[in-house]
Structure 1
Amino acid sequence: MTLEAAVEAKLEAARDDLASRDGVLIAFSGGVDSSVVAAIANDAVGEDAVACTARSETLPEAELEEARRVADEIGIRHEVVSFSELESEDFVENDDDRCYHCRTMRLGEMEATARKLGLGTVCDGTNADDPGAGHRPGLQAVEELDVHSPLLAHDIGKAEVRAIADHYGLSVADKPSMACLSSRIPTGLEVTEERLTRVERAEALLRQWGFEQFRVRDHDGLARIEVSPDELERALTVEFAETVREELSEIGFDHVTLDLHGYRTGSVSPDGDDPVVEDVFAAESEGDD
């Protein structure tokens, strides 16, 4: 794909930026933003670029496999480091700054790995649109740890990121955004391995059934399913209600609901706009109550 001149200029500036650095490690999720940074870094410094994925309870196994696949597609070296956010009481508490605590730990692992590999710069995929996209405490951790964000530094927004991904022929150019599993748990409700596991299993089922943009929010045993507006009609059927109720009950949810607002980012975050009960289409599982 041929880029517009303005986007091509930004890409060249980002490439020159990374080429001037003494090795680059990219905090790599396999999403479109970090994949574009990885592709640019691989283009700029070759073997001195490493994509690094942090494995923890909040990363779905399917996303880890996707990160491996995309790194191979780019042709960049891929490293996986493991840690546990659940070891942090601040993270488990799940207050307004959960993402700050998570990002601090995650990027700390990246910095340690970069030092071990002799790479001078840690990069992430923050793009130029992110700072204005609502409640983003994780960006504070990026600033405090002096992580470089080449997309932000060179004013590359989300639409331009996708254009550059197309330019590099990346299969994730149109991939929907994917936040970590802890974002499915409402602020103030503790993040536990049990809740993360049942959310991961529930979302794996929706993906298996062909849904593309969705979330399963865990309200202490009540599953609130959000799907994109263009997929909502598929979910508003008796067949889906019966199937999802049965399958999610087996996973461990007490009740299963479909949110008629549809998919929205940040709907359980401090600045989110959670719907009231009457806005939810309930397909409750059978239980004692």
Structure 2
Amino acid sequence: MQPETDVEGGATGATGATDADATPSAREKAEAVRESLSARDGVLVAFSGGVDSAVVAALADDALGDDAVACTAKSETLPDAELDDAKRVASEIGIRHEVVEFSELDDPDFVRNDGERCYHCRTMRLGRMYEAAAELGIETICDGTNASDPGEGHRPGLRAVEELEVRSPLLEAGIEKEEVRAIADDLGLSVADKPAMACLSSRIPTGLEVTNERLTRIEKAERVLREWGFSQFRVRDHDGLARIEIDPDELDAALNHDFVVAAREHLSDLGFEHVTLDLHGYRTGSVSPEGDESEPDESSERDAEPVVADVFDAEYPTR
């Protein structure tokens, strides 16, 4: 019989006693992060409002109080709903929250949307964070990269984190994704079970230019899915064809006739010539190299095999 796991991540036997030789629990790792942050004069946390950056922000706030700042970078790739959520979560934590603006579309390398798109995005986004930190007199920038992120598919954004010498407290403490969620739950954060939400450009197949028009219609297309109560979804923009991905557990609801009609009419009004439902269901990074799909300020989505980028050029069997 396998030992049960307690909320702190330690192995317990029938008596509930933790094995003295067990690796540090999630709570102990969180305390290590809190102590390491307390040694800093101040920190600015690259803050998306997702569970990873929320945990870092909460621990930084505990450690440093007014000397900790959460910073969200607003751009065309960040849905308005996610910005609103980031503001709500920062308020929930009680940490000072700053919103700065920049545009990835100013960089032709990002617009080109090659396999290094996330590298260009992260470099610009974190560069804007450094500018904000300098204005506040803060030297240390932290992000929400966790120990599950490195080595998971094509992750060029992590190279930007390393090059810019951004601290990743969760990674440094060896805190993996499930432990992040356990810590968030322990801290009473409402985002403990929040699904990962990647930036809007991740919905555009590699090689197809990222434009404001495409980003806008993707955001509006996904709004109707959110309004219908779906929790994990994407609308992939294949230059005229909208491919809706919904979590397999929610596919039955996606086949509801009223939803089908509403989605078709809404997305057609946005300019999509064809509206399809992917029967594979939601898969992270399904239009990007090796499953690359990153959140605006942290890396946490992965897996999935790439699919055909240009569905109009693909050959399909007729029988």
The TM-score range, normalised by the shorter chain, is over 0.9
Identify which range, 129-138 or 140-149, moves more after superposition: 129-138
Distance 1:240 1:133 in 2: 35
Which of the numbers 148, 152, 155 marks the counterpart of 1:129? 148
Matched with 1:256 is 275
Amino acid at match of 1:239: D
Distance 1:177 1:157 in 2: 14
- TM-score under structure 1 normalisation? 0.93
Amino acid at match of 1:3: E
Matched with 2:100 is 81
The verdict on how the C-alpha distance between 1:161 and 1:237 changes in structure 2, with shifts beyond 3 A counting, is same
Are residues 1:158 and 2:177 paired? Answer: yes
Cα offset for 1:251? 1.5
* Cα deviations by residue, 1:20-47 (Å, 9 ceiling, x for unpaired): 1120000000000000000000001110
Identify which range, 268-277 or 35-44, moves more after superposition: 268-277
Amino acid at match of 1:161: V
Matched with 1:117 is 136
Which of the numbers 56, 59, 70 marks the counterpart of 2:78? 59
Distance 1:265 1:271 in 2: 10
Are residues 1:3 and 2:22 paired? Answer: no
Which of the numbers 184, 187, 205 marks the counterpart of 2:224? 205
**8 Å CA contact 2:154, 2:289 repeated in 1:** yes
Are residues 1:25 and 2:44 paired? Answer: yes
Distance 1:7 1:239 in 2: 44
Secondary structure at the residue paired with 1:132?
coil
Distance 2:273 2:126 in 1: 36
Identify which range, 141-150 or 236-245, moves more after superposition: 236-245
Matched with 1:235 is 254
Distance 1:163 1:192 in 2: 38
**8 Å CA contact 1:261, 1:275 repeated in 2:** no
Cα offset for 1:120? 1.9
Secondary structure at the residue paired with 1:187?
coil
**8 Å CA contact 1:214, 1:225 repeated in 2:** yes
Amino acid at match of 2:232: Q
Distance 1:2 1:238 in 2: 41
Cα offset for 1:85? 0.3
Are residues 1:182 and 2:201 paired? Answer: yes
Are residues 1:173 and 2:192 paired? Answer: yes
Matched with 1:102 is 121
Distance 1:47 1:274 in 2: 44
Which of the numbers 68, 71, 78 marks the counterpart of 2:87? 68
Matched residues, number: 278
Distance 2:141 2:185 in 1: 24
Distance 1:118 1:176 in 2: 34
Amino acid at match of 1:149: S
Matched with 1:222 is 241
Cα offset for 1:55? 0.3
**8 Å CA contact 2:233, 2:245 repeated in 1:** yes
Matched with 2:213 is 194
CA RMSD of aligned residues (A): 1.5
- TM-score under structure 2 normalisation? 0.85
* Cα deviations by residue, 1:200-254 (Å, 9 ceiling, x for unpaired): 0011110000000000000002100000010011112333322211111111211
Cα offset for 1:7? 1.3
Distance 2:138 2:64 in 1: 11
Distance 1:238 1:38 in 2: 43
Matched with 1:287 is none
Distance 2:307 2:168 in 1: 34
Cα offset for 1:2? 6.0
Secondary structure at the residue paired with 2:285?
coil
Matched with 1:283 is none
Distance 2:120 2:39 in 1: 31
Matched with 2:65 is 46
**8 Å CA contact 2:203, 2:237 repeated in 1:** yes
Where structure 2 has 5 or more consecutive residues not aligned to the other structure, the ranges are 1-5, 11-24, 292-304, 313-319
The verdict on how the C-alpha distance between 1:2 and 1:232 changes in structure 2, with shifts beyond 3 A counting, is closer
Distance 1:76 1:68 in 2: 10
Distance 1:243 1:8 in 2: 45
